[in-house]
Amino acid sequence: MSYVPPHKRPSNRNPTPTPVPSSLNPKPFASPRHRQHQKPRSIPFSPRLIARWYVTSTESLALVPYDSEVIERKYGSKPLTVKGADEAGLVEEERGVLRGIVEQVARDLIKAVQHAKEESGSGDVKLFVMARVGKVLFGGDPSVCLDSIMKFLKCEGELNKLQARKTFYTTVSEEYIREVEQLLVDKCGFKFVRAKERYYIRVIDKRQPDLIMSCKCMALHDSGLELYKVEHIPLRHMVTDISCLSKNFDLRIMLNAKRAVKNLDADVAEGINQLISAAVIDPEVKWGLRWPLGKESAADRFVIVGVWHTEETILNRDKIRVNMRQVNRFDYLSSTDEDSNEISLKLIGLSEQLTEDHLCEGSIVDTIQEVVALFWDNLLSHSTGILC
C-alpha cells in the first residue's frame, strides 16, 4: 500500500494512535531544520510559579481509577482521581472549605501579580486571570498512593513531584458545551457576543529557541491567511487546582502574563510572513493548514512547531467572558494531534482589580467567591460530562 502523508490521512473524532516506544520516538529537533536545539516548553512557567492543589474535603479520601478510554489512549494508562469515601453531608462541608480556599487564592494572586511585575520590568505585559472546567487526574503508576500526594496539598513555588504526576484534563463533550451555553444565557444572564474561527501558528526563532511566538491568523476568501497578531505564548505565574468531590468536574484558576510582539525586526517579520503566505487552508487536514514540502521553515531560522485551528463561541456578562471552543492541535515536534472541546472563563474584572496600584484583598476575595459560586452552581455538575 502506498504511503499516505499524515495530513492526508482520514480523521476520526477520537483517534487511537499506536503508542510509540520511547526508544523509537524521534528526539525533538532531530531533523536538519530542528537540530542543535532542545524542545521548547509548550506551556512556559514563571521561575516563581505558585502551584497549589486543594480538595474540598480532607476526610475519608480515596484515590480511585478514573474510567475514560480517551484519556487512557492519550496517556497510556488508567488515570487516578480523588474521591470522598463518605458522601453524606459532603456538600455543606465543601461550601465551608471553599471559603478558606478562596481566601488563599486571593493571597496567591496578589503575590503572583507582584512577581509578574518584577519579572516583566518595563515590558508591555498584560496580566489576566483564567478559570477552567476540567478534571484533576494523577498518573496511574502503582507507586502513586494517596499519602504521597496529600503531603503536597499546600506546596507552592517551584514545580514539584506532584506537578509532574498531576494533570488537569479539560476536554468536555459537545453535549456539555451546548448545555452550558443554553444555561448561561437562559439562567445566568450571559449574552452572545460572536462566533469566530482562527488559526494559530506557533513559530520558534532558532536564535531564541526557548521563546515560542504565536501568530494569530484569519482566513481570507482566496484560501490564504491574514496575520492578525503576533505574541509570545502566555507565561503562567499561578496555577490553583481544586478537586470538587461532590461534583462531576473540578476547577482551575490561573494567572497568566502575555506579551505582544509589536515591533518586529525586519528579518523576523519577513520570516513570519514567508511562513504564513506559504500556508494552504485544507479542509481535509484536521488542524486546517498544511505547507508544501520544505516550506515549514524560513531562512533556515524560523520553524513551525505547532498549528491550532479553533472555532469559538463567546459569551459575556459583567466583565466575565466565556470561551467555548473546539480546537484541533498539531504538534510538529512529536507529530501528534489532538481534538478538544473546552470551556474557559476570562475574568476581566478580576484582572483589572489586580493591576490597580492599591490592592484590596477583601474585594478580590469577594470577586473570586462570585466566580467560584458561578462554577459551583452551574458548571460543575452535568451528566454529559468529560469525554469517556
> What's the CA gap between 135 and 132, in Å, rounded?
10
Please give the grid coordinates belonging to residue 152: 503536597
Q: Identify the residue with better confidence: 60 or 36.
A: 60
Could you write out the DSSP letters of every residue in 135-197?
EEEE---TT--HHHHHTTTT--SS--HHHHHEEEE--B-HHHHHHHHHHHHHTS--EEEEEEE
Position 89 confidence tier, pLDDT thresholds 50, 70, 90: low
Give the pLDDT score at 120: 80
> Which pLDDT tens digit goes with each residue over 208-219?
988 899 999 999
- Please state at what angle helix 361-378 crosses helix 90-120, rounded to 10 degrees: 130
Segments making up each domain of the chain, as ranges: 30-378
Long-range contacts of 24-28 (CB under 8 A, 24+ apart): 25/334, 28/333, 28/334
> Which pLDDT tens digit goes with each residue over 250-298?
999 999 998 878 788 999 999 999 999 999 999 888 899 999 998 999 9
**Mean of all residue pLDDT scores within the chain:** 82
> Which pLDDT tens digit goes with each residue over 135-172?
999 876 666 677 777 766 655 544 455 555 788 999 99
> Which pLDDT tens digit goes with each residue over 67-84?
887 788 777 788 889 888
Position 384 confidence tier, pLDDT thresholds 50, 70, 90: low
> Which pLDDT tens digit goes with each residue over 16-43?
332 322 222 333 323 333 333 445 567 7
Give the pLDDT score at 88: 58
Cβ contacts of residue 126 below 8 Å, gap of 6+?
257, 258, 259, 260
Give the pLDDT score at 372: 95
Instruction: Report the share of the chain in percent with pLDDT over 70.
Output: 81
What pTM was estimated for this model as a whole? Answer: 0.84
> What's the CA gap between 56 and 367, in Å, rounded?
19
Give the pLDDT score at 142: 61
What's domain 30-378's superfamily in CATH? mRNA triphosphatase Cet1-like (3.20.100.10)
Cβ contacts of residue 33 below 8 Å, gap of 6+?
296, 297, 300, 303
Please give the DSSP secondary-structure letter assigned to residue 270: H
